[in-house]
Amino acid sequence: MISHETVVRGAIRYFLEHGTVDVDELAPILAVSRATLYRVAGSRELLLGHVLWALCEIRLDAARRARTVDGIEGVLEVTRHFGAGLADAKGLITFVTTEPELAGRVLSSPTGVVHPRVVAAQKEIFLEAGCGAGPGPAVDLDRLAYLYTRMVEVAAYSELQYPGRPDRGPVEQALRALLTEAWPGG
């Protein structure tokens, strides 16, 4: 029996090459039947969610390690590092532009694989950067992480659908305003 991890790893390789996951083509590559692949993966949409989360997690971990400052500026720095490579994510760009409705569901559904994990990671980023810890007004970090993530998703998704050199200034201003409201003087 093939493991879920093996299926996801194979699907990641396929996605990076093709910008999607075709289950009919992936099954023979993994030397399993289509039925077995679906039994292990659940559905194409779920499999894509696991693929995109795995790729997102790699980029997010690198962005977190690259943070050089704390506080609100540290949170924004992680966001900048994360977003910097999106223009070069050819597989992701292909997916978002060729299957935009599916991409929207897979990337941003609150009941999917990707979005809840990104929100949880964003909450951790707040804490790593020193926001939300210590004295001061209590902030609902779950709610703030959700809102922050939604704002970043909209900007990133738009950038992927309409490649080019977008003006990220207004987005960063809005994110800074959100965080400053939560942590005045942060």
pLDDT in tens, 54-75: 999 999 999 999 999 999 999 9
The pTM for the full model equals 0.91
Band (135; pLDDT cuts 50, 70, 90) = low
Residue-level pLDDT at 73: 96
- CB burial readout 146-155, b (16+ within 10 A) else e: bbbbeebbeb
Q: Is the pLDDT of residue 22 over 70?
A: yes
- When comparing pLDDT for 96 and 157, which is higher? 96
- Would you state the structure tokens that stand for residue 152, as one six-digit string? 């970043």
| Cα dihedral 9, 53, 125, 69 sign | positive
